[in-house]
């Protein structure tokens, strides 16, 4: 089973279909992120400038899943 990579970033753009453009805190790389099912179920709202915690697959470093809103 693959191990997900946890990273933090800041939302730079809100896109249609609960997708977001997020800039990583570590290296300023931009990824396309989608909101996780638990956050969607709990109606967690995200906006530009929010810090988020994400999971990324080691096989595709251009996509991520937002799992937590930091602040």
65: pLDDT strictly greater than 80: yes
pTM: 0.90
Contact 64, 54 (CB under 8 A): yes
Mean pLDDT to the nearest integer, 63-70 = 96
For the chain, which domains are there? 5-69 (2.40.50.140)
Residue 2 confidence (pLDDT): 75
CA angle 6–50–48, rounded 5-degree value: 120
In the structure encoding, which two tokens stand for residue 56, read together? 């990324």
Contact 54, 19 (CB under 8 A): no
Residue-wise pLDDT tens digits, 5-55: 999 999 999 999 999 999 999 898 999 999 999 999 999 999 999 999 999
Contact 66, 44 (CB under 8 A): no
């Amino acid at each position: 089973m693959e191990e997900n990579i946890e990273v933090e970033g800041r939302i730079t753009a809100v896109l249609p279909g609960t997708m977001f453009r997020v800039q990583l805190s570590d290296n300023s790389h931009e990824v396309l992120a989608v909101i996780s099912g638990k956050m969607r179920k709990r109606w967690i709202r995200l906006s530009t400038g929010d810090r988020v915690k994400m999971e990324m697959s080691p096989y595709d470093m251009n996509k991520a899943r937002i799992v937590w809103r930091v602040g």
